[in-house]
């Protein structure tokens, strides 16, 4: 066993033991503790848990890699995900917390009808399952490289750990576990970033110092065919940049596993403060990611530019064994580098490895490599657990309890939820071994689906009293169907070749179009059909004024 493997194994064993220990001490036996942690989580802890839930394997593992190869254009992920969180915290979360329900299907069920609840539950399962597949694959990547085991076994190990601590204690154990996972992942992200910044620039503040190397990085990138690093719209057309950013932003606002977090505090005020703390915790990683991407890309290109293929650094061989780096067998010298297999470059490097490989590329010691591996696993596990809880609640509460067994006991519903979670883990592990795209792209698909389904229904449900059940149902089905159909059309699925993007719209950006369709269909159908009842109108009026309950005046016009 190499020194890197030894430190990786030690880091993962220690952190996994910590997570399982927390889960055991936080285990619950009632549904309120399982789904909303008994509304008893302190605001700072809830903020850290939201941060861990938010910063998935896509943020930790893949985002800086995308920034490294896409340069300026990768700001779609920074703007979309962070902007969406602000939108969620200010526009949606306080109102849903005032409503008092702990799932999105519950809100739309009360606001519209049982039919819309069922549609929302199906959408929540689809979105969450797509999202969790990316987390499983991210965990498999960590194990595949650092412990030199097949990726399917890595996914299996990650699945077992998630099963233990998520099924045991539900939201309560997941929340406290995520507090620990946030601590691990942010330390693992910042230590290498600070060390590399000090080595390259002499200033150990990566958020500030990475600007010094952008000119050099752009020059080397052009020589190796990657493109000018700081030029905009070199990897995507402008329209797609806008659509992807918007899809990530409004998709974020509709993510069920993040929305549910605002129900775990004791009060509405506590949920607002949780949002503030979460934004602070998220900013630590998101302001560091551009620096990590730039520094790693510079070290990568400096290490391989003009190098003979038989004299490449050791990290190339290490990651080649994990099938995440590929050297063109026809090349004698590395003259071009890309993250796309279709580019024909001399060296193909997956975007999913640059953060995990950055300590090796920079020549940092083995303990740092092991710490980064543990951080990657923490990011993948924390988000996966939250998503699995959404799947569990949708199955046990919105389907089993609401539609089949209204007299089901608390323990019976809890058992069904745990069985649903276990089943979702098994299926997600199988798909996670061979996902349809790289980690960040799979996650972006989930955001697009959330944008096309949940966001319009929630926003119109809060701010437009005239919106009715028929309109919401039609809009959700139309938006989600369009989005999923286009994603399948453009990707290499079912053994077919990928199709060209229509009008330059990527599958990551189609969620914006789906949301527009959802809004349009919902508004038109609602106007053509009967308005909701006076009782529903009063409920909507009350939810829009969190500080006090207000009754809409009789005969008030639609707004």
Read off the pLDDT of residues 318-371 as tens digits, 9 standing for 90 and up. 888 777 888 988 888 988 888 777 677 888 988 878 888 888 888 888 888 888
Instruction: Specify whether the CB–CB gap between 182 and 374 falls below 8 A.
Output: no
| Domain-embedded: residue 457 | no
Provide mean pLDDT across the span 381-395.
75
Which DSSP letter does residue 71 get? Answer: G
Q: Are 285 and 206 in contact (CB under 8 A)?
A: no
Q: Does a structural domain hold residue 483?
A: no
Query: 343 in a domain, yes or no?
Result: no
Contacts of 554 (CB under 8 A, 6+ apart): none
First vs last C-alpha separation in the chain: 67
Looking at per-residue pLDDT, the higher value among 458 and 388 belongs to 458
CB 501 within 8 A of CB 489: no
- Count how many Cα atoms sit within 13 Å of the Cα of residue 35 in the half-sphere of its side chain: 26
Domain count, the chain: 1
pLDDT at 499: 66
At residue 428's C-alpha, the angle toward residues 426 and 433, to 5°, is 105
Phi, psi of 9 (to 5 degrees): -60, -45
- Would you say 390 and 30 are in contact if contact means Cβ atoms under 8 Å apart? no
Encode 143-162 in three state secondary structure.
Answer: HHHHCCCCHHHHHHHHHHHH
Confidence of residue 553 (pLDDT cuts 50, 70, 90): very low
Return the pLDDT at 152.
Answer: 79
The percentage of residues in the chain with a pLDDT greater than 70, rounded to a whole number, is 86
Distance from C-alpha of 68 to C-alpha of 211, rounded to nearest angstrom: 14
Query: What is the reported pLDDT for 545?
Result: 66
The answer to the question of residue 325 being in a domain is no
Of the two residues 529 and 6, the one the predictor is more confident about is 529
Q: Which residue has the tokens 């076994």?
A: 153
182 assigned to some structural domain: yes
Q: What is the pTM of this model?
A: 0.80
What are the pLDDT digits (tens) for 44-81? 888 888 888 777 777 787 888 888 888 888 888 888 88
CATH of the domain at 17: 1.20.1730.10
Q: Which has the closest alpha carbon to 504: 301, 223, 242? A: 242
Residue 519 lies in a domain: no
Does residue 461 lie within any of the structural domains?
no
- Count of helices and strands (H, E) across the chain: 24, 3
Task: Say if strands 337-338 and 347-349 run parallel, antiparallel, or are unpaired.
Answer: parallel
119-122-127 Cα angle (round to 5): 120
Contact 346, 310 (CB under 8 A): no
- Measuring CA to CA, which residue among 70, 173, 187, 48 is closest to residue 440? 70
Sign of CA dihedral 453, 456, 461, 466: negative
Instruction: Quote helix, strand, coil % in the chain, to nearest 5.
Output: 75, 0, 20
d(CA 202, CA 471): 59
Q: What pLDDT is attached to residue 550?
A: 43
The conformational region for residue 549 under phi > 0 = left, psi -120 to 50 = alpha, else beta, is beta
Percent of the chain surpassing pLDDT 90: 16
CB-neighbour burial class of residue 312 (10 A; exposed 0-12, middle 13-18, buried 19+) = middle
For 274, the token pair is: 């949780």
Quote the mean pLDDT of the chain: 80
Q: Is residue 500 one of the residues assigned to a domain?
A: no
Q: Are the C-beta atoms of 408 and 400 separated by less than 8 Å?
A: yes
Tokens (6 digits) for 35:
């789904």
**Token reading at 528:** 């053509």
Question: Residue 429 belongs to what domain range?
Answer: 3-297+363-439
pLDDT in tens, 446-473: 889 999 999 999 999 989 999 999 999 9
Most confident segment among 97-101, 156-160, 314-318, 425-429: 314-318
DSSP letter (8 states) at residue 202: S
pLDDT at 555: 42
Neighbours of 548 (CB within 10 A): 6
- Dist. CA 349–CA 333, nearest whole Å: 16
Walk across the sheet containing 337-338 and list its strands: 325-327, 347-349, 337-338
């Amino acid at each position: 066993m190499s020194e890197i493997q030894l430190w990786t194994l030690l880091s993962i064993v220690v952190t996994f033991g910590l997570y399982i220990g927390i889960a055991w001490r936080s285990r619950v036996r009632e549904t309120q503790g399982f789904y909303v942690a008994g509304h008893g989580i302190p605001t700072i802890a809830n903020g850290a848990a939201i941060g861990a839930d938010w910063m998935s394997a896509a943020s930790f593992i893949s985002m800086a890699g995308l920034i490294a190869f896409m340069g300026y254009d990768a700001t779609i992920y920074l703007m979309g995900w962070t902007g969406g969180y602000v939108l969620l915290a200010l526009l949606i979360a306080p109102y849903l917390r005032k409503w008092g329900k702990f799932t999105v299907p519950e809100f739309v069920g009360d606001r519209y009808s049982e039919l819309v609840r069922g549609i929302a539950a199906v959408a929540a399962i689809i979105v969450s399952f797509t999202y969790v597949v990316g987390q499983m694959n991210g965990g498999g990547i960590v194990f595949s490289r650092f412990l030199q085991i097949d990726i399917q076994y890595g996914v299996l190990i990650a699945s077992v750990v998630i099963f233990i601590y998520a099924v045991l204690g539900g939201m309560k154990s997941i929340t406290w576990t995520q507090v620990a996972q946030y601590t691990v992942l942010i330390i693992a992200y910042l230590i290498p970033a600070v060390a590399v910044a000090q080595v390259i620039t002499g200033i150990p503040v990566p958020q500030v110092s990475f600007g010094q190397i952008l000119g050099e990085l752009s020059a080397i990138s052009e020589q190796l065919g990657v493109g000018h690093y700081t030029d905009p719209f070199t990897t995507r057309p402008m329209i797609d940049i806008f659509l992807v950013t918007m899809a990530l932003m409004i998709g974020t606002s509709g993510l069920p596993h993040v929305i549910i977090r605002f129900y775990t505090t004791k009060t509405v005020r506590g949920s607002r403060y949780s949002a503030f703390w979460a934004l602070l915790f998220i900013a630590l990683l998101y302001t560091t990611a551009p620096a990590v991407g730039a520094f790693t890309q510079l070290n990568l290109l400096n290490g391989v530019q003009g190098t003979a293929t038989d004299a490449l650094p050791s990290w190339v061989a290490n990651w080649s064994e994990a099938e995440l780096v590929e050297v063109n067998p026809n090349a004698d010298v590395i003259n071009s580098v890309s993250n796309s297999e279709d580019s024909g470059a001399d060296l193909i490097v997956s975007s999913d490895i640059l953060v995990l490989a950055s300590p090796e590329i920079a020549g940092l010691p083995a303990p740092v490599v092991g710490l980064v591996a543990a951080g990657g696993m923490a990011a993948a596990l924390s988000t996966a657990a939250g998503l699995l809880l959404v799947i569990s609640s949708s199955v046990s509460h919105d389907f089993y309890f609401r539609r089949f067994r209204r007299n089901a006991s608390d323990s019976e519903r809890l058992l069904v939820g745990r069985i649903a979670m276990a089943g979702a883990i098994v299926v997600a592990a199988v798909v996670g071994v061979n996902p349809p795209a790289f980690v960040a792209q799979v996650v972006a698909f989930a955001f697009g689906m959330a944008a096309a389904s949940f966001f319009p229904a929630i926003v119109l449900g809060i701010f437009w009293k005239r919106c009715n059940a028929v309109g919401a149902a039609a809009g959700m089905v139309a938006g989600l169907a369009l989005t999923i159909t286009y994603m399948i059309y453009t990707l290499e699925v079912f053994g077919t070749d990928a199709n060209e993007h229509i009008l330059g719209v990527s599958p990551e950006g189609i969620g914006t179009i789906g949301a527009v369709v959802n809004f349009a269909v919902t508004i038109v159908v609602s106007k053509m059909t009967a308005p909701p009842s006076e009782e529903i109108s009063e409920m909507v009026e009350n939810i829009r004024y969190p500080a006090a309950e207000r009754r809409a005046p009789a005969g008030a016009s639609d707004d």
